[in-house]
Structure 1
Amino acid sequence: MSVTITPIYAALIAFIFFALCWRVIAYRRAHRLSIGDEGNRSLLRRMRAQANCAEYAPFGLLLLLMLEVQGAPAALVHGLGLCLLAGRAAHAYGFAAKPMNLPMRQLGMVLTFVQLLVTSGVLLARAVM
């Protein structure tokens, strides 16, 4: 079986992750900050936005990949991939905005959790049937 859908969402989410990484690197360079957050709250927020993506995106993509490998309908895989992509984009935007855009951040987490829960449920149902 060829995996063709998950790589699309993996690549797009990787671009979001890269942008979050770049924000941390650029801030560190501009303010000559090296290790940790050195008590700088703005750097800490940037680091947490990056870390949040690193914590949730790989797991969501792994679940999506397993669903695709199981032969789930393409529309379902795309729908859940879009849910994860939109969730990660909304969360990153909400977290990065100054002042923080809490509704976008919350929407991002809700979409991410929906993707994780629905994908997990579908995988479990397909595995036991």
Structure 2
Amino acid sequence: MLAITPIYAALIAILYVALSAKVIATRRSGKISVGDGGDKTMIKAMRTQANCAEYAPFALLLIAMVELQGASGLMVNLLGLTLLAGRLLHAYGFGRTPQIVILRQIGMVLTFAAILVAALANLVLAL
């Protein structure tokens, strides 16, 4: 049974909705119905949202599998917190104008760390 992963999935879903709201607001203010309209602010809002959509589901799936295989609550929480921190830092750093590059970079390192450690943990637990 999953007891921990759903908490991180919910928090990241809230982040994703916030990023989506930013895309919608940017569309409205720039009067952009479809695509990016060549607007740099629109492109940044879209890519910030898309980056979350590209990495978070895969990482959450791996974390859920770690939890389902019986990993300790500490391990699952560390993976979830690492992913959540990574996604928040990346979204904040990338979404700012000008970008806060170090936050974007730390966010990606944390995201990759969560994915890699969860992948390795799944292999260890499965074998």
Q: How would you bin the TM-score normalised by the shorter chain?
A: over 0.9
Measure how far apart 1:67 and its partner are: 0.5
User: Which runs of 5 or more residues in structure 2 are unaligned?
Assistant: none
Superposition TM-score, scaled by structure 1 size: 0.97
Where does structure 1 differ by over 3 angstroms across 4 or more consecutive aligned residues?
none
Measure how far apart 1:26 and its partner are: 0.5
Superposition TM-score, scaled by structure 2 size: 0.98
Measure how far apart 1:57 and its partner are: 0.2
Structure 2 match to 1:36: 35
Report the number of matched residues: 127
* 2:72 partner letter: P
Structure 2 match to 1:123: 122
Structure 2 match to 1:84: 83
Structure 1 match to 2:98: 99
RMSD between aligned residues? 0.6
Deviations 1:56-99 (A, max 9, x none): 00001000100110010000000000000000000000011111
Matched-pair identity in %: 54
Structure 2 match to 1:21: 20
User: Which runs of 5 or more residues in structure 1 are unaligned?
Assistant: none
The SS at the match of 2:44 is: helix
Structure 2 match to 1:114: 113
CA distance in 2, matches of 1:30, 1:16: 21
CA distance in 2, matches of 1:31, 1:51: 19
CA distance in 2, matches of 1:69, 1:99: 41
CA distance in 1, matches of 2:14, 2:95: 15
* 2:112 partner letter: F
Measure how far apart 1:47 and its partner are: 0.3
Structure 1 match to 2:9: 10
